[in-house]
């Protein structure tokens, strides 16, 4: 599988004009066949939010998670997305501009309100927006090992201004929060302290470092993997669900 991904990645960078078409086709197929972009999102079909609660997509990228949330959630549940990359955020808003369920914010979430430089990596004009971050140490090296015939002179970074805010400032009532922010998950959690304490939402994290793990433990959360259609105790190699056993006992039984 990794070999195939490397081959496809090496070919696609020569056709940057197909990037938007590729995402459009992927999302179209997701909707037609009701298939989430990542297996773990099938767990959302078991969730039972009420009409006052929302789903949050922190690090929306191209909107794949939003589509997966829409496929596996009641139609009366709204989805709020946060994406610091303005180029990508504009594309998401254009994609969902007729859909009243989706609300986008062109900000990054962190532990404090601040202005940052945000970096978007390009190779042969192909935007690797999924690797965009506030700290891009190692991205060049990552691409070098995953593209055949890699030419470092074709790599560039686009710096854009970005504003970060604390999730607590938005006054939301989340049932579920997906956080995928290239290693900054702990920062997002710190800025969401009051929201998490008040509402105890289900969390889905791609990266759990020591700081994030400590935060979760202090707030009564435990780690779970979604395997064979069930939530099972233990950390997942990719996407890990974080639930409060007392509040989410029904989902874990």
pLDDT of 99 above 80: yes
> Can you name the residues that pair with 165 across neighbouring β-strands?
109
**Average pLDDT for 134-157:** 87
- Of the candidates 164, 171, 140, 167, the one whose C-alpha atom is nearest the C-alpha of residue 153 is 140
- Of the candidates 82, 102, 66, 92, the one whose C-alpha atom is nearest the C-alpha of residue 170 is 82
- The full set of domains in the chain, from first to last, is 1-34+117-163 (no CATH), 36-109+166-253 (3.40.50.150)
Cβ contacts of 194 within 8 Å, gap of 6 or more: 168
Q: Buried b vs exposed e over 105-115: b needs ≥16 C-beta within 10 Å?
A: bbbbbbbeeee
22 token code pair: 């590729």
224 token code pair: 């779970």
Cβ atoms within 10 A of the Cβ of 42, count?
A: 16
Sort residue 215 into left (φ over 0), alpha (ψ -120 to 50) or beta. Answer: alpha
**Average pLDDT for 43-61:** 96
pLDDT for residue 150: 95
pLDDT bracket for residue 183 (50, 70, 90):
confident
pLDDT for residue 168: 98
Tell me if 157 sits within 8 A of 121, measured CB to CB: yes
Mean of all residue pLDDT scores within the chain: 93
Distances (CA, A) of 143 to 2, 6, 128, 159, 181: 13, 10, 10, 18, 18
239 token code pair: 């996407």
pLDDT bracket for residue 2 (50, 70, 90):
confident
Q: How far is 107 from 160, CA to CA, in rounded Å?
A: 12
pLDDT digits (tens, 9 = 90+) for 77-89: 999 999 998 889 9
Q: How far is 172 from 113, CA to CA, in rounded Å?
A: 17
Cβ atoms within 10 A of the Cβ of 161, count?
A: 10
Q: Buried b vs exposed e over 126-159: b needs ≥16 C-beta within 10 Å?
A: bbbbebbbbebeebeeebeeebeeeeeeebeeee
pLDDT digits (tens, 9 = 90+) for 215-230: 999 999 999 999 999 9
Tell me if 236 sits within 8 A of 49, measured CB to CB: no
The whole-model pTM stands at 0.90
pLDDT bracket for residue 76 (50, 70, 90):
very high
- The pairing of beta strand 222-227 with beta strand 155-165: unpaired
Cα of 180 vs its chain's centroid, Å: 4
pLDDT of 60 above 90: yes
pLDDT bracket for residue 116 (50, 70, 90):
confident
């Amino acid at each position: 599988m990794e070999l195939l991904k490397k081959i496809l990645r090496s070919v696609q960078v020569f056709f940057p004009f197909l990037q938007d078409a590729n995402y459009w086709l992927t999302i179209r197929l997701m909707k037609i066949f009701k298939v989430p972009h990542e297996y773990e999102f099938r767990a959302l079909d078991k969730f039972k939010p009420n009409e006052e609660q929302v789903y949050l997509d922190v690090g929306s990228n191209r909107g794949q998670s939003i589509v997966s949330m829409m496929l596996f959630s009641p139609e009366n549940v709204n989805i709020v997305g946060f994406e610091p990359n303005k180029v990508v955020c504009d594309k998401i808003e254009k994609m969902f501009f007729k859909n009243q369920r989706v609300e986008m914010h062109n900000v990054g979430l962190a532990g404090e309100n601040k202005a940052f430089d945000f970096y978007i990596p390009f190779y042969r004009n192909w935007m690797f927006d999924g690797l965009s971050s506030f700290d891009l140490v190692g991205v060049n090296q990552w691409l070098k090992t995953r593209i055949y015939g890699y030419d470092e002179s074709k790599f560039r970074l686009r710096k854009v201004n970005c504003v970060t805010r604390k999730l607590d400032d938005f006054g939301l009532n989340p049932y579920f929060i997906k956080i995928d922010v290239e290693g900054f998950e702990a920062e997002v959690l710190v800025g969401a302290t009051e929201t998490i304490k008040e509402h105890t939402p289900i969390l889905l994290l791609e990266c759990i470092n020591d700081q994030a793990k400590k935060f979760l433990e202090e707030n009564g959360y435990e780690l779970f993997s979604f395997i064979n259609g069930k939530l099972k105790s233990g950390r997942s190699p990719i996407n890990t669900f974080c639930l409060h056993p007392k509040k989410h006992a029904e989902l874990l039984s």
